[in-house]
A and B are shown apart, each in its own frame.
Chain A
């Protein structure tokens, strides 16, 4: 009994002490906080220099495709032949969805459903299976869909690495597989659709925050949770930017997407450091909470980034914040349907299909603020022309 307690004490003390000794380098941050060279710690294993360079290059690239329809545009397209998948319609299109467990995916999925409706003649059946955020269930779901007479399979993987074998198995069935949002570690799908990606997002936000604040100022990085690849790449790009700008990242904290936790963390950091000169976030979910924490503490809101969620955009507009909103646009949910129909018609599609990834800035902010839409709606949904707008998204 005493031994157990001793062990526990040791664990507690070690845990506390281990962290307390991070003292000299104020960035008590994720994976290993003791890396001396950079202020933000060791680079994540998700960081792939080549991809990073490629993505940053794409930020400046001009899209090909119909103007005003970014979901049909592609950046630097490299076309893949799809003649072997050509078959007459109407089709049954199946979709294995990682989950519907956050507003981004909800808005995206509604957009996708609306897109399907615009093709009623060609799509006789749209089968949707929700994996509820479970890798294991999604693997089973994909397997299940293989027996349901699908003409094309769309997959939005829950986790890149772990869904790879299942996607490969689906490819082997001879089915055209289209992957979007998160990718898979295999080239077997016909195409992989996503916007520029996490590096672009993280970079744009970090550049903005570090440029708008005083040099060497203190930045607080707020992250949702560790281990999500999309979010990891955003942070790894931000690290590069912050290190280059020489700002002082005083903390990297996980909020679990919980606004209350966010406010507490921000509040404590404000108290601990007196002022925080910039806030970077890997996703917009708790941006409003972070802003409110400054307001409630009676401090000016420092340069901050959010995402294209309307609550943040409204607050930004109303309070005239110094802010930016890089997006991970939900209009990308339209593209897989469009791509699937193209593939089944034998038309070539770009692989990878890189979609433009617009950034909302002070200049174009007012285009996106729509007081009639719900607060957690994503402005960059490209859905205003779709059937059922706006009711479907309310």
Chain B
């Protein structure tokens, strides 16, 4: 992609300036998202510090193998998105759509597995508000489990938004309302968001599922 192709908004004077500004804006936004999930991490750490045994006990009830499979699914979806963005920069519309479509499928698979996992959790009586008699619903173990539910559902919400963003971008590029490579920045921004959602999961995985010991 060469700079001359880029559509320039009126407040900018150079394509390069606009491009750096767009990336900077997105990085700042993802920085805010980092703080959002970071606050949850701070809580998990604080409770693990205060109640190490119960947290580990609670973690042993999480479905580690589903989560491992889900991690692999998300990491692969990130590869698909990265390949799609690479195609967008080269102006290959269909390759972009293919990459994003693959990522969407993997994302849906992730949500499906996660939903199945929640179902198992609730059957076991781990979930809040069910009133199921379970040793894990008393004391600090419940705090760990509930933070797990909140953090993973917040992640799932972000992932669903990401699915929408990827789909929207792919359709706009396919129908040429967004032109590549001139407006490849749209695909790049969508990609950044998706990868960020992936990074969040990369940390949720060890902090909850691998906290067994």
Q: Do A and B bind each other?
A: no
Residues of B within 8 A of A (CB): none
Residues of A within 8 A of B (CB): none
